[in-house]
Structure 1
Amino acid sequence: MKKILSLIFCLIGWFALIAQYYLLLENNINSFWESTVRFFSFFTILTNLIVAVYFTVQALKPQSKKDTDPGILTSITLYICIVGIIYQVILRSTWNPQGLQKLVDELLHSVIPVLTIIYWYLYENKSSLNYKQILKWAVYPLLYFIFIIIRGSFSGFYPYPFVDVNIIGFTQVLMNAFWVLVFFAGLSVIFILIGKALKK
């Protein structure tokens, strides 16, 4: 059952990512390379890519081979939950996608986060989760933030309005990033607590 779910989930993930890239290029107003770099500048895209790769590995690897680091699935689940929550709370009201874009939008921000949570509930080795892992889990979002700030200072492009230095200023961007980090740490603690409770 685990391999079947992994296969289904990875196919959904790859479809959403490929369709979103196609839609981006179809409505392209920048060069191909600039559009591609911007595509991979979104936390949503990078995180869904990580999720798709994870499910692909789970679908293809031998069934006898166990996960070496149970914290990996929890960290990925946290990242995609951040994607879903921030979109639902902050970004959903900022646009109204139609047609294929609406389908892809829901897959990337709603369906895949829920599927990942279900997978985490079913298959994560929750007994080995601990609070020390939170610092390691935070490396990816921190590196992402550094990347978009550095690139934005050269290109002028910031993928989200709450990190757009051009509009809200660097101080406010740092404040927004701080609160996102606090939220991430809090969500991490919640997942660990839930994991330990479920294991009991």
Structure 2
Amino acid sequence: MTSRPTTFSAATVRTLCSWLAILGWSGLAIQLDLILMARWTSGASLLGGLVNYFGFFTILTNTLAAAVLTCQATRRDSAGRRFFLQPKVSSGICVSMIVVGVAYSLLLRNLWQPEGLQWLANELLHDVMPVLYALYWWWCVPKGALRIRHIGLWVLYPLVYFGYILLRGHLLGVYPYPFVDVDKLGYALTIMNASGILAGFIVVAVLVVGLDRWK
């Protein structure tokens, strides 16, 4: 049986999740505005900016996390709300959010020094929201429903994403992250790098399932 591992009232949970959702959507909105403004000032296609925006694993995963928090903050029942609040769904998103934060800190943080609004968006999407969403998962997601088999479903998300960025990169010559840039690294090293990240994803997933069973 599942149980809610928190003594917070339903109203308190909704209030907290409302604030978390606002933070999440704000980070996403700031980053989108920065990308579109850069495209606008350079005379590039805004549609291309949207494609570029949604080509980042960070953006996709933070969007999913913000959707979960928004659903948790509302009372109105819907098919979408029921889907996102399933423990196996919200927990899989938690795994991806943790990977976003860890991978950024280990692989990307030292490659650039963002400033101003870019720094703010960067911090919200890579540092703040992964931690806050993990805390949300710990305190507010019912425990006891996860099984090892769910990891197989969660792994489909990064696998499909990796296939997408390889296809997009082949067609457009643009890759979202330097460690999967086939033009510079070649397919062998790119696949090796992606496999390492996938292995880390699976380790985090196993830990999440273990914590779920323990709590």
Structure 2 length-normalised TM = 0.87
Residue 24 (1) aligns with residue 41 (2) = no
Distance 2:87 2:207 in 1: 16
Whether 1:112 and 2:126 are equivalent positions in the alignment is no
Alignment map for 1:1-200 (pairs within 5 Å): 1-28=12-39, 29=42, 30-62=44-76, 69-197=86-214, 199=215
Q: What SS does the aligned partner of 2:144 have?
A: helix
Question: Over the residues paired in the alignment, what is the CA RMSD in angstroms?
Answer: 1.6
User: How far, CA to CA, are the matches of 2:49 and 2:145 in structure 1?
Assistant: 41
Aligned residues: 197
Structure 1: runs of 5 or more not aligned: none
- Please say if residues 126 and 192 of structure 1, whose CA atoms lie closer than 8 Å, have aligned partners that are also in contact: no
Measured against aligned partners, the alpha-carbon deviations of 1:64-120 in whole angstroms (never above 9, x if no partner) come to x97763111110111111110000111000000111111111000000001101101
Residues 94-147 of structure 1 show CA distances to partners (whole Å, capped at 9, x for unaligned) of 000111111111000000001101101101222111111000011111111111
% identity of equivalent residues: 37
Residues 16-37 of structure 1: per-residue CA shift (max 9 Å, x gap): 1111011112222431111110
**How far apart are residue 178 of structure 1 and its match?**
1.1
Question: Equivalent residue of 2:129, what SS?
Answer: helix
Cα offsets for 1:154-173 (capped at 9, x unmatched): 00000000110000001111
Query: Which residue matches 2:5?
Result: none
Provide Cα deviations, 1:4-26, integer angstroms capped at 9, x if missing partner: 11111111111111110111122
User: Counterpart amino acid of 1:27?
Assistant: A
Q: Which moved more, 1:36-45 or 1:67-76?
A: 67-76
**Secondary structure at 1:41's aligned position in 2?**
coil
- Gaps of at least 5 residues in structure 2 are 1-11
Which structure is higher in RCO with an 8 Å CA cutoff and minimum separation 6?
2
* Misfit runs of 4+, over 2 Å: 65-69
CA drift at 1:62:
4.2
Q: Give, in angstroms, the shift of residue 195 of structure 1.
A: 2.0
C-alpha distance 66-167 of structure 1, shift in aligned 2 (>3 A): closer
Q: Any conservation in 2 of the 1:127–1:195 contact (CA below 8 Å)?
A: yes
CA–CA distance in structure 1, aligned partners of residues 86 and 104 of structure 2? 29
